Structure 1
Amino acid sequence: MGNGIIKSLKYLVKCINEVIYSDARECIICNGYIKEEELLCGKCSASVKICNNSLEIINDGIKIVCYSSAYYSSIIKELIIRLKYKNDFKAGEVLAKYMINTIKLQEIKFDVITYVPSTREAIKKRGYNQSEYLAKIIGNEMNKKVYRILKKTKNTKDQIGLNEEERWLNLKNSFRSIRYMQIESKTVLLIDDVVTTGATSFYCAKNLLENGAKEVLVLTAARSNI
């Protein structure tokens, strides 16, 4: 009889908790409960270092403006690693939300969206392009078309471990445009996960400009240093 009462009480408590926390969700980083329609708890959100300043990438007489939502540290670093290497698409949703907020706060104006491409080998290994994933969430929220414009034409070394000069040389002549009509005379928002030296963003943006884009603005989830 005693065991039956205990089981009943446990069941009752479970039912009560389900009602009380029916709108609660777990933080994807620390598993803490959050009631709002969010994926991060207040503690984890507070540790994100927001980036409020744009970066000017200048090379070959061309200047490209790059916006980043946060610095590549703490929670943002963990989210990018999870999206890029662990198939954690919830982490991608959080990153995209920060990027959408940046668009709104910085009043970034653009016509269409594209993204930094990956090689076939990278897609085959990972199964997806994390920059494309972010771009599609942003495009859906901002009601803007997302186009696959760029193609990576050669396999390059991993940028990790390379100095600034090596990074620029590594990526030179690595991208080409495969479609032109969608960007002709338009302001293009180029999406990537992280900007470090700006070499990837610059060479992609340069190719877009050479193939008809009026202007190219870059938006990344994070800004990093070598």
Structure 2
Amino acid sequence: MGNELIKNIKYLWHCILNVIYSDGRECTICNEYVSDEKLLCNKCRAEVKLCKEYFKICEETFEVKCFSSAYYSGIIKELIINLKYKNDFKAGEVLVQYMVDTIRKQNIKFDVITYVPSTKKSIKKRGYNQSKYLARTISYKIDTKSLEFLVKFNNTKDQIGLNGEERWKNLKDSFKCINIKYLKNKRILLVDDVITTGATSFYCAKAMLRSGASEVIILTCAKSSL
């Protein structure tokens, strides 16, 4: 918590300095001058491959609708890596802009926003949960409540390097719900950075649906070849 607070303060201070000492902005990726609030120049924006259709994860007796803003490649991949591993909150702002655009363009309806949880070990290593950051920032942008509903209670293997079947087996029944009284009969928007096989998102959604949520909709910055 302390590390997260310090990083957020540094980010806010960086924003203040930008306002005081700059009459414009630089592209988050290539540092070219940007005259609007998009944070990406036209050239970099043109390289982003947007996702225009939602898809569904159908497992066991559950069906979960999933939206992603873009494909996990090129500019979007770089932005996610910069946020996740380099604490680049400016990159996070760009990703949030794309996710908010997706909510509005796809007319996604929900009551509460939540996020995929991280283990204490991951948070200690990275300093914060990037999915929580995305969810809370989206919540602020669209003025919708954000609550914590999930905890990860199994120390699973890192998903990187596992094949599809191994990812599903690795995460089975690894999440449980908290604050259950606030999710009952609610439509929940579950936020994460990337969806690959869908295992993480599905098991999070399953936990909330079994705890009384009326619907869970997944929203990620990006998707791979799911």
TM-score past 0.5 threshold:
yes
Aligned to 1:85: 85
CA distance in structure 1 between the aligned counterparts of 2:105 and 2:23, rounded to whole angstroms? 28
Residue in 1 aligned with 2:196?
196
Conserved? CA contact 1:150–1:204, under 8 Å = yes
Matched residue, 1:59: 59
The alignment partner of 1:146 has SS state of coil
Alignment of 1:57-206 (within 5 A): 57-206=57-206
**C-alpha distance in structure 2 between counterparts of 1:116 and 1:49, whole Å:** 24
- State the shift of 1:22 in Å: 5.5
Q: Distance in 1 between matches of 2:99 and 2:170?
A: 27
Q: Deviations over 1:153-184 (max 9, x none)?
A: 01111111111100000100110002101111
Aligned runs of 1:215-226 on 2, under 5 Å?
215-225=215-225
Structure 2: runs of 5 or more not aligned: 1-20
% of aligned pairs identical? Answer: 61
Q: CA deviation at 1:72?
A: 0.1
User: Is the Cα–Cα contact under 8 Å of residues 113 and 190 in structure 1 kept in the other structure?
Assistant: yes
Does the 8 Å CA contact 1:23/1:36 hold for their aligned counterparts?
no
| Kept in 2: contact 1:65–1:218 (CA 8 A) | yes
1:207 lines up with 2:210 in the alignment: no
CA displacement, residues 1-47 of structure 1 (integer Å, 9 cap, x when unaligned): xxxxxxxxxxxxxxxxxxxx953211111010111122111101110
Aligned-partner Cα distance in 1 for 2:199–2:158: 13
Are the aligned partners of 1:57 and 1:63 in contact in 2 as well (CA < 8 Å)?
A: yes
Secondary structure at the aligned position of 2:147 is classed as coil
TM-score (norm 1): 0.89
Q: Which runs of 5 or more residues in structure 1 are unaligned?
A: 1-20
Rg (Cα) greater in structure? 1
* Distance in 2 of aligned mates of 1:38 and 1:63: 34
Quote the Cα distance in structure 2 between the aligned partners of 1:184 and 1:147.
13
TM value normalised by structure 2: 0.89
CA distance in 1, matches of 2:112, 2:34: 34
- The alignment covers a number of residue pairs equal to 206
